[in-house]
Amino acid sequence: MRPSGRNLSDMRPISIETGVMRHAEGSCLIACGDTRVLCSASIEDKAPPFLKGSGQGWVTAEYGMLPRATNTRNRREAAAGKQSGRTQEIQRLIGRALRAGVDRRALGERQIVVDCDVIQADGGTRCASITGGWVALRLAVNKLLKAGIITTDPIMDHVAAVSCGVYAGQPVLDLDYAEDSEAGTDGNFIMTGSGRLIEVQMSAEGATFSRPEMNQLMDLAEGGIAELVRAQKEALV
């Protein structure tokens, strides 16, 4: 039995509230169980210098966790004077994931920055950031299209992410903190709405895993991604 009482293939309750930030071109608050992430998308009228003259745009991301997002206070990274390696790795992951669903030439020479701020953490913060970040990105692009600034939709597909792992010897979907902290195998699966893989991160935390176990986790992830994409669509209606 999972600590939450969920079945092996059950997601945590998902909710996505859009338009939660007045000034951002796109924003949402995503909740996956007790994990909550505030996502915003900001449009900048020029692309990074390395893309100057290329006719292509860029999507990037920044990630942070509020001091009391967890059960003990974490010092603000700004106060420490540098970002942790974990933060840098996660925000690069979010940026890569979101770019995979964008036609950067159709975006034109501009940049969209997606900020993901964790206000409460209970496992799966990077996955929630990607799923919610895509909604914020979609809303920002909608504004560009409505204003006629771009004429072709640069977003090619939905992008969402979910965690899977082996907990107490069983493959489970959408790990919360209690499961993630004791999982023998932990994985993050990032996919498009059409089921194409963007990135898979898997590691043996306490025990090695077999190819059949990996396939089981992949099957669970596909079901979870489908649920997340449905939630994205409902939030955007």
Query: What average pLDDT does range 145-161 have in this prediction?
Result: 98
pLDDT at 175: 97
Annotation-wise, does 196 bind a ligand?
no
pLDDT at residue 1 greater than cutoff 90: no
CB 221 within 8 A of CB 189: yes
Measured CA angle at 52 (ends 146, 106), to 5 deg? 30
Specify burial of residue 147 (Cβ count, 10 A radius: 0-12, 13-18, 19+). exposed
Under the banding of pLDDT at 50, 70 and 90, the label for residue 206 is confident
Angle (CA) 116 119 120, round 5°? 120
DSSP state of 108: -
Task: Report whether 20 contacts 28 (CB < 8 A).
Answer: yes
Q: What are residue 14's DSSP bridge partners? A: 32
pLDDT at residue 208, rounded to an integer? 87
Q: Reduce the DSSP state of residue 104 to 3 states and report it.
A: helix
Q: Which two tokens stand for residue 186?
A: 């932990």
Would you say residue 193 has pLDDT above 90?
yes
124 annotated among ligand-binding-site residues: yes
H helices within the chain, ranges in order? 77-80, 85-99, 104-107, 125-146, 177-180, 211-236
Report which residue type is found at 113. Answer: V
Closest CA to 202 of 1, 32, 215: 215
What is the mean predicted confidence (pLDDT) over 105-118? 98
pTM above 0.75, yes or no: yes
